[in-house]
Structure 1
Amino acid sequence: MTADLQDPTNVATAKSPNPHLVLASVLLAALVLPLSFTGGAIATPAIGRDLGGTATELTWITNAFMLTFGSLMMTAGALADQYGRKRIFVGGVALFVFFSVALTFAASVAMIDLLRAGQGVGAAAALAGGSAAIAQEFEGHARLRAFSLLGATFGLGLAVGPVMVGWLVEMFGWRSIFMAGAIIGALALVFGAPRMRETRDPDAVGLDWPGVVSFTGLLSLFTFGVIQAPESGWISPLVIGSLSGAVALLAVFIVVERRAARPMLDLGLFRYPRFVGVQLLPIATCYAYVVLLIVLPLRLVGVEGRSEIDAGLLMIALSGPMVVVPWLAANLTRWLSAGVVAGVGLVIAAIGLLWLGAVPAGANLALVPPILVIGFGAGLPWGLMDGLSVTVVPKERAGMATGVFNTTKVAGEGVALAIVSAALAGLTASNLRSAGAADRVGEIAQRVATGDLPHAAALAPAFDRAALIQSYLGAFQQLTWGLSAITLVSAIAAFTLLGRVKGEP
């Protein structure tokens, strides 16, 4: 999303006949994105039971989507500016629908991984093109309301997604969740495309291809290395080579962006301490909240053996606050600075994470209070960070700042998920070794961490299911300690860097 929301050259004089139908189309497309995010996690145990697949392949069901979605956000925004916002939006939604339909016919987990990566490409184009299109249809307070609705739609998708996905999986099987996404995407095309006008940035000079390739490559190599590590080992040539390649491409990306006439990422923005502080907020919410949208359903369904519907109902306590808490956060900035509100929210989330780690397996109502606390705490910075992304830099740099922020948010989710998945598998493996396991510990631990308990038990006949579950729960508690520590450090950064910054009204 690189369209400059403050640049009048980006706004055509003629508006669409009914801009509210354009907005409704973009909102429909936006609704399906969080459904795709949470849907893959809840469906993973069912996919594993049906199609088998290695532990690494099962991990990629979600990570493949997040990798392409996050790494291509800025690219899609630049393409929308140059070739047309409507064209990129329509093409993105069409790609998403195509890959969603193809997923309903997938015959292997490896094929699902590839198709999920394709889904992520479509999602990036749809969100970047759709957001830029909204910016052209509305001005002033109407534009702010439109983007607030876009954020609320994401919150609604996160809130209802787990229940909807759980019901679909239990009633019609895991393939139905992808067909549901295809239907919603098709509706967005039918209602929106005929009513959208085409707009471009007349000053667009082309795409920063060296930046695109190096950025996508470094994210891909880093994610692959982290996900592969539990199976191959952190010191294996494959993992070391992947992580070293990611570092090398990071250096290349920095050099390229410094020399580019119109870079994909203006590194000069990082001279503003408050801008750095804003980038830390989505990273913090990734570790305090977003990763739980994936890890917690795997625990509830795959490890504890709950039904998908029961897991979805429990997840409402985590995602439900995102519907109302961001509105509360915006109102609190009348009396408190945005940094204080965000920092307090992160402290609350950190407390909830510690509480969650202490909940034993099989607990029902005991799970609700801690995840409700996490959802409430994370909702406070979540409701402020989009507005802050354009208020902490000079007005003329707001467009680039928005693009960087959205890339940080989405790409950070994919990176955080890869790190947390690897950490959970590694901690589980350590607990299994302490309990006496010796053979294929890495693979067994990774199976448990992805919710594939039946195959894990088959690989470890000397351990009963209770021992495997106990090893996982110990690892889960250790993981929540680490997530809580990251969240508290982020809270301190929010107080320090953003303590005097006012939020968007």
Structure 2
Amino acid sequence: MTDRTLAPSAAHKALILLSVCLAAIAMPLTFTGPAVALTAIAETLGGSPIALNWVTNAFMLTFGSALMAAGALSDSFGRKRVFLTGTAGFALASLALVGARSILIFDLLRALQGLAAAAAFAGGMAALAQEFSGSARMRAFSVVGASFGAGLSFGPISSGLMSATFGWPSIFLAVVALTSVSFVIGVAVLRESRDPQARGLDWPGATSFTLALTLFTYGVLQAPESGWSDPLVIVLLVGALALMALFVRIELNSPRPMLDLSLFRYGRFVGVQLLAAAPAYAFVVLLILLPIRFVGIEGVGAVAAGRMMMALSAPLLVLPLLAGWLSRWIAPAVICGLGLLVSAAGLAWLSFMPAGGDVNAMLAPMAVIGIGISLPWGLMDGLAVSVVPSERAGMATGIFSTVRVAGEGVALAIVSAVLSALTSGHLPGAHAREGAQKLVTGDVAGAAGALPQLARPALIQAYGGAFSTLLLLLAAITVVTAVVVFVFLGRRETPRDDVPAETVCASANG
């Protein structure tokens, strides 16, 4: 329910959208910035390969696992309240990261930052769903998508410049500035709204889901160091599976579940969730892996690496808006499916670029990947909200965003482990596993220390071969996803008595 005694003017709505977009720009800055500065962070704070992997994964884990809970809280306690709490917490956690003095404190603060980002994102998107409707909602969400694109595009280059000029802590000061302005505008212009039928947070479901993701991520990150047959790794993965089964059982028996599992009976809803997961392995993992490769393996400076990353992410500045415009005439299923196929082609092309070669040759395939993923990017959020009633907008954005962000965190953990295993397979000796872990984090000197019998060119060649194989695997997965998404999103389903018609009969244009 939203207080609509006075309908907001167009200018007022524009300020509401601006508040959410500023927070949206800050989130990818937080995601990509530490990847560009990871070498500098490691030099200052130290840390093992696992601890350095948590620099990104701690944020992604808490962000992804808390989104459904944040969506439920926004429906229950107010979208404005949750959004403002999230932006304030985001700013404070980012400010605290500037003064971090150990890798453990840094990783813990990154986890807190992810929790705050979840509240800001879920509350902000649910608030937008109440203020905009129909085609205006699709356009508003496309603008938010473009804002994410701006953060992704300029995040690496701005982070590289700030890190090189002022040191890596300055990266987080930009996040503080953006979220602070977002908070001030939000206080002034956002209207409070909530779902009158909401019953609060499903604590058992939220707890089991978060613990399942935590154990799974921890197990996958631990496996490259300890081995997949290590008892600790097995216990962590089995525990994650048991907790996820418990989560499903809790949600099925809840009168007001945090995750309405009955919606998964409908093809279009499933298609939207698969679409949400697709950018994780077709695009997002590259935002972390490529800067590490450029700086640590190829020897490119942080500023140059950030500039090169714009080839991958710059299309997100324009093409999401173009996709929203094209959806008036072309079904989103077609746009999304074609976009994923283009990304797969770019991934396959990039796999032929050897490590230690001409890094500029990588720019063209990176641009193709970015162009492809930009097409579904502009439609995903609007499609997610279109499959549930507006009163459950918090739940809708929570489910979709959880699949997307949690999928990104899980994909990053799995891809890092796979890259480490592939690299280890290219290295000889008893310490191949240790050397591979060092290479995956961009530490060639550390790998040389673990494998003194190998010269630097041999180490880089081993990493390059593993990276190429990984890209081909990601391309194959993306092709399969494109086909499945096209089929599922193209379905037209008949409403049933037990589900609101608007849940299953959203038009193909969102």
TM-score w.r.t. the length of structure 2 is 0.92
The answer as to whether partners of 2:438 and 2:444 remain within 8 angstroms in 1 is yes
Q: Does 1:452 align with 2:457?
A: no
Q: C-alpha offsets along residues 161-216 of structure 1, whole Å, 9 cap, x if unaligned?
A: 11111111111111110122112212222333244333332222121111100111
Q: Does 1:422 align with 2:427?
A: no
1:404 aligned residue? 399
1:269-308 counterparts in 2 under 5 A? 269-308=263-302
Q: Does 1:491 align with 2:482?
A: yes
Q: Does 1:379 align with 2:369?
A: no
Q: How many angstroms does 1:38 deviate by? A: 0.6
Aligned with residue 431 of structure 1, among 426, 429, 441: 426
In 1, the alpha carbon distance for the partners of 2:186 and 2:120 equals 12
Aligned with residue 504 of structure 1, among 494, 506, 509: 509
2:501 aligned residue? none
Q: How many residues align?
A: 493
1:467 aligned residue? 458
In 2, the alpha carbon distance for the partners of 1:176 and 1:86 equals 29
Classify 1:247/1:373 alpha carbon distance in 2 versus 1 (closer, same or farther; 3 Å).
Answer: same
Classify 1:396/1:91 alpha carbon distance in 2 versus 1 (closer, same or farther; 3 Å).
Answer: closer
1:368 aligned residue? 363
The answer as to whether partners of 1:86 and 1:197 remain within 8 angstroms in 2 is yes
In 1, the alpha carbon distance for the partners of 2:255 and 2:46 equals 49
The answer as to whether partners of 2:138 and 2:382 remain within 8 angstroms in 1 is no
Match of 2:398, as an amino acid? G
The answer as to whether partners of 1:339 and 1:500 remain within 8 angstroms in 2 is no
Q: Does 1:83 align with 2:77?
A: yes
1:319-334 counterparts in 2 under 5 A? 319-334=313-328
The alignment partner of 1:72 has SS state of helix
Match of 2:5, as an amino acid? T
1:55 aligned residue? 49
TM-score w.r.t. the length of structure 1 is 0.93
Moved more, 251-260 or 363-372: 363-372
The answer as to whether partners of 2:344 and 2:369 remain within 8 angstroms in 1 is yes
Match of 1:80, as an amino acid? S
1:148 aligned residue? 142
Q: How many angstroms does 1:273 deviate by? A: 1.5
Aligned with residue 473 of structure 2, among 470, 482, 494: 482
Q: C-alpha offsets along residues 37-76 of structure 1, whole Å, 9 cap, x if unaligned?
A: 1112111111112222100000000000000001101111
1:4 aligned residue? none
Q: Does 1:343 align with 2:348?
A: no
Classify 1:290/1:11 alpha carbon distance in 2 versus 1 (closer, same or farther; 3 Å).
Answer: farther
In 2, the alpha carbon distance for the partners of 1:112 and 1:478 equals 32
In 1, the alpha carbon distance for the partners of 2:426 and 2:333 equals 39
Match of 1:157, as an amino acid? G
Structure 1 stretches lacking a partner, 5+ long: 1-8
Classify 1:276/1:166 alpha carbon distance in 2 versus 1 (closer, same or farther; 3 Å).
Answer: same
The answer as to whether partners of 2:45 and 2:103 remain within 8 angstroms in 1 is yes
The answer as to whether partners of 1:330 and 1:504 remain within 8 angstroms in 2 is no
1:22-171 counterparts in 2 under 5 A? 22-171=16-165
Classify 1:399/1:29 alpha carbon distance in 2 versus 1 (closer, same or farther; 3 Å).
Answer: closer
Q: What percentage of residue pairs aligned between the two structures are identical? A: 55
Classify 1:195/1:401 alpha carbon distance in 2 versus 1 (closer, same or farther; 3 Å).
Answer: closer
Aligned-pair Cα RMSD in Å: 2.0
In 2, the alpha carbon distance for the partners of 1:374 and 1:251 equals 35
Q: C-alpha offsets along residues 84-139 of structure 1, whole Å, 9 cap, x if unaligned?
A: 22221121111111111111111121211111001001100111112222333444
In 2, the alpha carbon distance for the partners of 1:143 and 1:380 equals 17
The answer as to whether partners of 2:28 and 2:152 remain within 8 angstroms in 1 is yes
Match of 1:472, as an amino acid? Y
Q: C-alpha offsets along residues 429-479 of structure 1, whole Å, 9 cap, x if unaligned?
A: 1111xxx2222x222211110112222222222222222111111110010
Match of 1:422, as an amino acid? A
1:212 aligned residue? 206
The answer as to whether partners of 2:142 and 2:378 remain within 8 angstroms in 1 is no
The answer as to whether partners of 1:15 and 1:137 remain within 8 angstroms in 2 is no
Match of 1:410, as an amino acid? V
2:258 aligned residue? 264
